[in-house]
């Protein structure tokens, strides 16, 4: 169902969607503000979906720390063990981030359509940019929830309560929408960094077709041939692999020639955490890591870390291991001695994360771990003057992913296995700085491994695990916190709060029905 903007979208944090068209969008500054407001929604993917993707997948976990930190009603245990419900806060927050972002885009498109200061061509391009951002968010919702309200119109007055559209309907709408705008979106250029460019449109089309089989949708084309076609188009647009892999994650990574779609952050960002500013360092670093890292951030929260067996996938000599994870003894840069925690322990980030016997919560194997356990996220450079907001941008799509998508599609579709091997080896040669670790030929298992080595922390884990058939396994076996199993878990439950705003929503199969 195509519906108007409904009350199941919370617009309280959006400014421009409350302003009538006759009073806003009639100057260049206002036009740029509308488009920029849509671009800014992509920040919420980086800040919100890292937990939803990486913890539901095999990459990360937020363990309960000794003393009870991060138990938070059990929501992080639910994310790891796949025991979530419509009341799980992380899932609610992810739904809200996506729906509010779509609402912002719908409002911006409506105002842009009514502006009188742009030529028809310029108006079409601006609107295509915002339509692309909206398509990205609808893709995210379809990926996580499958059957969603498809909202592509704005109404300032009418309150419509749409039903869910099927995943097939949403998929078909997305492919049509992206094909309409793919050559109208901004061209790939330094000036258009942060926009939804033609490269982003083709990359998103490739992602749709790569996941179509796993999603259970049907198409009239050969899915994997379409992936190859769209990846080839992206690779023809002037992107190049950065010679130094870590440059993609530096403080000033806006200059990366590999970035295709970026959430652009600034150290000057303000607002609530998880909304407009990126506080990855706070989410992952121990309270005293700042002493070892030489950064100003002294109020970190000691949360998310890597699932142990994920880290163990990395060969010791793969530079991406050290470049992705903070592991080992933390040495105080001032004293040269090990950092000592407030509990009197040396601060040593072990790969293993061990639940302390006797701390288990009733009816569960989930319990507390030591404050220092776990490899922390160390992929993005931490600026020395970092306090609250990170300056680094988050590259939602980048060229290395496109290489690996094409390699996977070639193998799944019976294409040129030699070309697939060349693509994977290009990623490995960039990482190692030589060809000593090249494959002679690659399998799907090799592609899956390379995706894990290359794309840790980048919000691919859940989707990849579903596609490669290992979603129910996790990579923290020593916890004895077995995951629930069932096909229905490949979709998230729709939050109870969303249903209370829109009672026409239907819960996904396998989950408890909504209740008053």
At 247, which CATH number? 1.25.40.390
**pLDDT: is 160 or 296 the higher one?**
296
Determine contact, residues 463/211, Cβ cutoff 8 Å: yes
* 250 C-beta neighbours (distance < 10 Å), count: 18
pLDDT average, residue stretch 117-137: 98
pLDDT at 273: 58
pLDDT bin (cut points 50, 70, 90) of residue 298 is: confident
What gap in Å lies between CA 389 and CA 276, rounded to an integer? 9
pLDDT of residue 274: 61
3-state secondary structure of 461: helix
Other Cβ atoms less than 10 A from the Cβ of 316: the count is 6
**Distance from C-alpha of 91 to C-alpha of 48, rounded to nearest angstrom:** 9
Distance between start and end Cα atoms, the chain: 25
Which strand (E) or helix (H) includes residue 369?
strand 368-369
CB 210 within 8 A of CB 467: yes
What is the tens place of the pLDDT at every residue in 22-65?
Answer: 568 889 999 999 999 999 999 999 999 999 999 999 999 999 99
Measuring CA to CA, which residue among 35, 9, 15 is closest to residue 271?
15
Q: How far apart are CA 491 and CA 495, in angstroms?
A: 12
Closest CA to 382 of 301, 462, 504, 278: 278
Question: Is 383 inside a domain boundary?
Answer: no
Residue 52: which residues within 8 A CB-CB, separation 6 or more?
79, 90, 91, 94, 144, 462, 492
| Residue 3 scores a pLDDT above 70 | no
pLDDT tens string 310-323: 999 999 999 999 99
Secondary structure of residue 196 in the 3-state scheme: coil
pLDDT tens for each residue of 360-369: 998 899 999 9
* Strand, helix or coil for residue 428: helix
* pLDDT, tens only, 405-433: 999 999 999 999 999 999 999 999 999 99
Instruction: Assign 3-class secondary structure to 288-345.
Output: CHHHHHCCCCCCCCCCCEECHHHHCCCCCCCHHHHHHEECEECECCCCCCECECCCCC
pLDDT at 75: 97
Q: What is the pLDDT of residue 15?
A: 42
Cα(277)–Cα(262) distance, integer angstroms: 14
- Residue pair 182/205 in contact (Cβ under 8 Å)? The answer is yes
Q: Is residue 110 part of a domain?
A: yes
Indicate the SS3 state at residue 42: coil
Phi, psi of 314 (to 5 degrees): -80, 125
Residue 371, token pair as written in the block: 């404050």
Is position 177 within any domain?
yes
Answer whether residue 14 shows pLDDT above 60. no
- Cβ-contact 160, 503 below 8 angstroms: no
Question: Is residue 155 over pLDDT 80?
Answer: no
Crossing angle (nearest 10°) for helices 43-50 and 89-113: 170
| Helix or strand (DSSP H, E) at 349 | strand 348-349
How many angstroms separate the CA atoms of 420 and 307, rounded? Answer: 29
Judge whether 461 and 473 are in contact, CB under 8 Å. Answer: no
Within a domain: residue 144? Answer: yes
Structural domain of residue 205, as residue ranges? Answer: 2-266+395-501
Residue 292 lies in a domain: no
Q: Is the pLDDT of residue 2 over 90?
A: no
Mean pLDDT of the region 197-202: 99
> In the chain, how many domains are there?
1
Tokens 């050559």 belong to which residue? 183
Mean pLDDT, residues 285-298 taken together: 94
* Residue 288, in any domain of the structure: no
Residue 271 has pLDDT above 90, yes or no: no
- Note the pTM of the prediction, 2 decimals: 0.95
Q: What is the pLDDT of residues 483-501, one digit of tens each?
A: 999 999 999 999 999 999 9
pLDDT of 19 strictly over 60: no
Q: How far apart are CA 428 and CA 390, in angstroms?
A: 28
Measure the CA–CA gap between 3 and 162, rounded to whole angstroms. Answer: 6
Q: Token match 């779609």: residue?
A: 261
- Structure token digits, residue 277: 């500013």
Q: Is there a contact between 153 and 102 (Cβ–Cβ < 8 Å)? A: no
Q: Is residue 470 part of a domain?
A: yes
For residue 359, being part of any structural domain is answered with no
Q: Is the pLDDT reported for residue 133 higher than 90?
A: yes
Mean pLDDT of the chain: 94
Q: Tell me the residue length of the chain.
A: 516
CA 83 vs. chain centroid, Å, equals 21
State how far the Cα of 456 lies from the Cα of 59, in Å rounded to an integer. 7
Q: How confident is the model at residue 4 (pLDDT cuts 50, 70, 90)?
A: very low
List Cα–Cα distances, 310 to 61, 180, 200, 373, 458, in angstroms.
Answer: 11, 40, 29, 15, 14
């Amino acid at each position: 169902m195509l519906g108007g903007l409904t009350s199941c979208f919370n617009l309280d944090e959006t400014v421009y969607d409350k302003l009538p068209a006759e009073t806003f969008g009639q100057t260049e500054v206002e036009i740029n503000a509308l488009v920029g407001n849509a671009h800014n929604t992509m920040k919420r993917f980086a800040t919100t979906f890292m937990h939803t993707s990486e913890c539901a997948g095999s990459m990360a976990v937020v363990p309960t720390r000794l003393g009870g930190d991060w138990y938070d009603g059990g929501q992080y245990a639910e994310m790891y063990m796949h025991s979530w419900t419509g009341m799980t806060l992380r899932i609610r927050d992810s739904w809200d981030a996506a729906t509010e972002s779509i609402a912002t885009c719908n409002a911006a498109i409506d105002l842009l359509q009514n502006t009188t200061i742009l030529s028809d061509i310029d108006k079409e391009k601006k609107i295509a940019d915002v339509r692309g951002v909206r398509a990205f968010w609808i893709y995210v919702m379809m990926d996580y929830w499958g059957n969603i309200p498809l909202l592509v119109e704005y109404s300032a007055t009418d309150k419509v309560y749409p039903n869910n559209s099927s995943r097939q309907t949403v998929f078909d709408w997305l492919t049509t929408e992206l094909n309409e705008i793919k050559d109208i979106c901004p061209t790939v250029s330094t000036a258009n960094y942060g926009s939804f460019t033609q490269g982003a449109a083709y990359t998103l089309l490739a992602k749709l077709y790569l996941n179509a089989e796993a999603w259970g949708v049907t198409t009239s084309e050969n899915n994997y041939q379409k992936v190859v076609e769209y990846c080839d188009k992206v690779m023809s647009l002037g992107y190049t692999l950065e010679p130094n892999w870590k440059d993609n994650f530096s403080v000033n990574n806006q200059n990366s020639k590999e970035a295709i779609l970026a959430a652009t952050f600034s150290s000057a960002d303000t607002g609530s955490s998880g909304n407009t500013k990126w506080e990855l360092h706070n989410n992952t670093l121990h309270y005293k890591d700042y002493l070892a890292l030489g950064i100003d951030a002294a109020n970190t929260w000691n949360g998310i870390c890597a699932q142990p067996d994920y880290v163990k996938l990395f060969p010791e000599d793969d530079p991406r291991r050290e470049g992705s994870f903070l592991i080992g003894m933390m040495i105080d840069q001032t004293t040269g001695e090990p950092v000592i925690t407030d509990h009197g322990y040396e601060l040593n980030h072990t790969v293993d994360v061990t639940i302390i016997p006797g701390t288990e919560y009733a009816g569960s194997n989930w319990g507390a771990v030591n404050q220092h356990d776990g490899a922390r996220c160390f992929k993005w450079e931490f600026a020395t003057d970092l306090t609250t907001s990170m300056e680094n941008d988050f590259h939602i799509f980048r060229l290395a992913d496109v290489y690996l998508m094409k390699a996977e599609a070639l193998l799944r579709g019976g294409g040129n296995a030699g070309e697939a091997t060349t693509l994977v080896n290009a990623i490995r040669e960039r990482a190692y700085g030589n060809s000593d670790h090249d494959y002679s030929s690659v399998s799907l298992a090799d592609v899956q491994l390379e995706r894990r080595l290359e794309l840790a922390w980048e919000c691919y884990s859940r989707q990849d695990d579903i596609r490669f058939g290992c979603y129910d396994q996790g990579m923290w076996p020593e916890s004895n916190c077995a995951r629930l199993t069932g096909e229905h878990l490949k979709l998230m439950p729709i939050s109870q709060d969303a249903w209370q705003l829109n009672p026409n929503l239907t819960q996904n199969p396998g989950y408890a029905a909504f209740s008053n």
